[in-house]
Amino acid sequence: MNWERYLDALSRVPHELAIHIIMVLISLAVAIAVSLPIGVILTRPRFRKLGALVMNILNIFQAFPGMAIIALTMPVLGLGLKPAIGALVVQALLPIARNTIAGLYGVDPNIKEAAQGMGMSEKKVLFEVELPLAMPVILAGIRTSAVYVVSVGTLAAYIDGGGLGNLIITGLNMLWAEFIIVGAGFGALLAIFFDRGLSYVEYKLTPPGFSIIK
């Protein structure tokens, strides 16, 4: 153990952590903006058949390993932060779209019919009945994505994306345990922070009586 190296590693943490958080937040925001509307469109009665098909495809893609996606972006987009964000967006899209579709399908058809019977327009049913009821499932998807993106974000350092992975890689290359521990520790804390924070939001937004059994 070498205290100077610890200090050296710690002094690099704010910069790398900031890059990591920015990377995660941008890719999550883009992924939500893209896959939420797609999920909503695919569950409309008009596209119902297409929805089932897309759901199956997404299920298959769920098996696609994160590292493969990071590695595949490099030949296409090159090195740097932007390609890393691109790879993370692809990564984050799937769980959100999947959970949006699953959540909207999961809304009791009786409730939708009751809303229609009360004279609500299709739009109103969507925004005031379906989306609030599907919100816990959608948020669970966003949470899965967030944790996943933080995790794969550490790999982004290999394609020059920066972030906490930089510290871990330096540590692995030089066999400096101090760098590994600092980088891995903050990476783990960041992931746990996102997980806990979003699960709190999820808990707060779940309508009473509709909490998912955990």
| Interaction site with another protein (CB under 8 A) | 60, 62-69, 71-72, 74-75, 147, 150-155, 158-159, 164-165, 168-169, 171-172, 177, 180-181, 183-185, 187-188, 191-192, 194-195
Q: Which is nearer to another protein, 14 or 75 (CB)?
A: 75
For residues 62 and 136, what is the distance between their CA atoms, to the nearest angstrom? 20
Q: How far is the CB of 178 from another protein (least distance, A)?
A: 9
| Residue 54 CB-density burial (10 A; 0-12 exposed, 13-18 middle, 19+ buried) | middle
For residues 131 and 137, what is the distance between their CA atoms, to the nearest angstrom? 10
DSSP letters, 125-139, are IIIIIIHHHHHHHHH
Q: CB count, 10 Å around CB of 102?
A: 18
Q: Which is nearer to another protein, 130 or 178 (CB)?
A: 178
Q: How far is the CB of 206 from another protein (least distance, A)?
A: 18
| Residue 165 CB-density burial (10 A; 0-12 exposed, 13-18 middle, 19+ buried) | buried
Q: How far is the CB of 33 from another protein (least distance, A)?
A: 24
Q: Which is nearer to another protein, 14 or 173 (CB)?
A: 173
Q: How far is the CB of 158 from another protein (least distance, A)?
A: 6
Q: How far is the CB of 100 from another protein (least distance, A)?
A: 19
Q: Which is nearer to another protein, 37 or 197 (CB)?
A: 197
Q: Which is nearer to another protein, 38 or 172 (CB)?
A: 172
For residues 72 and 108, what is the distance between their CA atoms, to the nearest angstrom? 40
